Amino acid sequence: MKFTIMITGFLLFAVPTAASAHPGRLDSSGGHKDNVSGGYHTHPERSNNSSDNTSTPSNPKSRYKTGKSGKTVKAIAKGVLLEGRPIILDGDTIKMGGAAIRIHGIDAPELDQICSVGKKSYKCGVKALRALESRINGGYVQCLGRERDKYGRTIATCSTKSGDIGRWMVGEGYALAYRKYSMDYIDAEDGARKYQRGMWAGTFTPPWDWRKGIRGN
């Protein structure tokens, strides 16, 4: 709230005035022009083009916390938010509060999967798991339930305080956009491919083909 000083006789008093116009819509860099000063400034935390924005809603149907004093659940219903410190099972699956959660929109290499960079082979499934562990770093994760898969796992959009986990995994080349089920992270995959991040630095078999026994790159 801004105040304007008014002088009447020998008395001084302050009255509130409206704050300067501050347009809410930001450009792709998260900035805008100030209507009063004419200057340009940014709000990176509100950027409309951030590659790491979380998609967790502010008003989920229900919210549960896991842990010593939290709730134990077997699955998350659609629209329900679960928060806790997860166990990392592989590059696209975590377990939290008893619920097995498959991260929405991504497919990471299987734990036994081998990828190559030049003449050197490496365990890209294990590397994806380690990358996810590093990203979460023992912290809290929020997962918004979307649906159940054929294995009974919850498909969920998961985020840390740094943003959308699925987008980060795909954007860094540790997982692929799972186009069969979602088109959400195609732009992140395009960036990983362009800059040869993660698996894109070498050759690999898509995880969905590896599970079918295909071993060609």
Burial class (CB in 10 A: 0-12, 13-18, 19+), 210: buried
Q: Which residues lie closer than 8 Å to 163 by C-beta, 6 or more apart?
A: 50, 52, 53, 54
Tens of pLDDT, residue by residue over 131-175, are: 999 999 999 999 999 999 998 999 999 999 999 999 999 999 999
What pTM value is reported for the model?
0.72
What six digits make up the tokens of 14? 């302050």
Phi, psi of 16 (to 5 degrees): -70, 145
Classified as helix, coil or strand, 113 is: coil
What six digits make up the tokens of 32? 């805008």
**Best CATH choice for the domain 62-210 from the list 1.10.3660.10, 2.40.50.90, 3.40.50.10810, 3.30.750.210:** 2.40.50.90
**pLDDT confidence of residue 72:** 73
Those residues of the chain that have pLDDT short of 50 are: 1-24, 26-34, 36-57
The CA distance from 42 to 19, in Å, is: 18
For residue 68, the Cα-to-chain-centroid distance in whole angstroms is 26
Residue owning tokens 């081998």: 114
Phi, psi of 36 (to 5 degrees): -95, -55
For residues 130 and 177, the answer to whether their CB atoms sit within 8 Å is no
Residues of the chain with CATH 2.40.50.90: 62-210
